[in-house]
Amino acid sequence: MKRITLIILFFQLCFVHSQRIELKLVDSILLKADDFIGIDAFEDYYYTLGTTFYKKTKSKVYSYANTQLGNISSIDITNPLKIVLFYRDFNTIVLLDNRLSELSNNINLSTESFAKNVTFASISSNNNLWLYSLDDNILSLWNYETKQTVFDSQPLSYYQNDFEANIQISTYEYCWLISNDHVLKFNEYGSFIDSFKEKAIEKLVPYNQGILYLKNSKIYFAKDSLKESFIDNKKNKMDNFFVAKEYLYFFDTNVLYKYSLLKK
């Protein structure tokens, strides 16, 4: 019986690793931009040009720039009604509505109760933000309404030796921190969920209850700690992609390419 179970498991693993995601070009759109940020459920496009952040709808273009804060370090459009802009040089967060108007006063983390130099900032649930500080190597959940810390992790080296984050990605449910050779995953309550070893990840995007991640000019799909397939696209820059529903978008030299994701 044990031998039969092992044989079944072997074939399951072979099937998983034989799956492959392929791309089919659906559309290409001219878009004058420095960086493509993403697309929302209404198919509105977000991008930057210089120090200005733009939202392009079917009928109008909105823009936001803050000359006092300068360059934007990161933009989180997970919630199009509450967009998170992070200005690392000034340790400041700006929240924008769906017309790119400021929702509140700028959040200066140096003067708020958090009072740390923040390396990465992104959205979580319940008016919380994920904040990672390289100063103490700690991931925090911080509520921008109450100005209180909901959760502080252990120093990340507690979960993985010598871990220091280079990239932070989050959704309402999860937060991923990526180092040179590992990925740590936390849930929306701040609990540590999982880690896996993978070197030189350049970007990570949640997809289909798994993740797509960029490594060595290839995009891999991983689920349940198993690498299932990869996309090798030599036509476009691989470092600027975004996934929405069953479509993958590449931005390269003022052209936005839209591909359907086909699982073979």
pLDDT above 60 for 151 = yes
pLDDT digits (tens, 9 = 90+) for 205-253: 988 888 888 888 788 888 765 566 677 666 656 667 899 888 999 898 8
What is the pLDDT of the chain when averaged over all its residues?
86
Q: Which residues lie closer than 8 Å to 192 by C-beta, 6 or more apart?
A: 153, 159, 184, 185, 186
Confidence band (pLDDT; 50, 70, 90) for 15? very low
Confidence band (pLDDT; 50, 70, 90) for 165? very high
C-beta of residue 64 within 8 angstroms of C-beta of residue 53: yes
Q: Which domains does the chain have, with CATH numbers?
A: 2-263 (2.120.10.30)
pLDDT digits (tens, 9 = 90+) for 33-66: 999 999 998 889 999 999 999 999 999 999 999 9
pLDDT above 90 for 13 = no
pLDDT above 90 for 87 = yes
Q: Which residues lie closer than 8 Å to 113 by C-beta, 6 or more apart?
A: 147, 148, 149
pLDDT digits (tens, 9 = 90+) for 109-134: 988 778 789 999 999 999 999 999 99
Burial of residue 161 (CB within 10 Å: 0-12, 13-18, 19+) is exposed
